Structure 1
Amino acid sequence: MTDLAHTTRSAPHASGSLAARIVTFVRTASLRRRTRLDLARLDSRLLRDIGLDPMSAQHESSRHFWQD
């Protein structure tokens, strides 16, 4: 019987591949964009409920999607 570990190629680590890193970046950037847009739509009462003042929320929501 043939040992499959020796006859098949091992897949490259997904976490290190360029494609995986691009997908991760796009997903993260999309999430940041969505949450920052949502944050910008909250009124002062809702901001207070989540512990943010309007100035901090404005600062965060004005950041670009690629900024951490």
Structure 2
Amino acid sequence: MAEPPDWRLQTTERALNRLERQGFAWEFLRRNPDYRRDYDRLRGASSPDGSPAPHWGVRFPDRSRPLCS
């Protein structure tokens, strides 16, 4: 998983402030070091329901995209 942009940068802060709840929750989760470690460890592996990390309560129907480039 690529390193997310620094939330303290003004451009990132503005982008985060425009997000709906679901988008903000994703940005919060992807900065969690435990989640990132699990994601990297389980990438490519999947559970029967198609979720790479079912205990996080998320599913990935499409590839994630960065908030800003």
Q: TM-score, normalised by structure 2?
A: 0.28
Q: Which of structures 1 and 2 has the larger relative contact order (alpha carbons within 8 angstroms, sep 6+)?
A: 1
Which protein has the larger Cα radius of gyration, Structure 1 or Structure 2? 1
Specify which structure has the higher proportion of helix: 1
Q: TM-score, normalised by structure 1?
A: 0.28
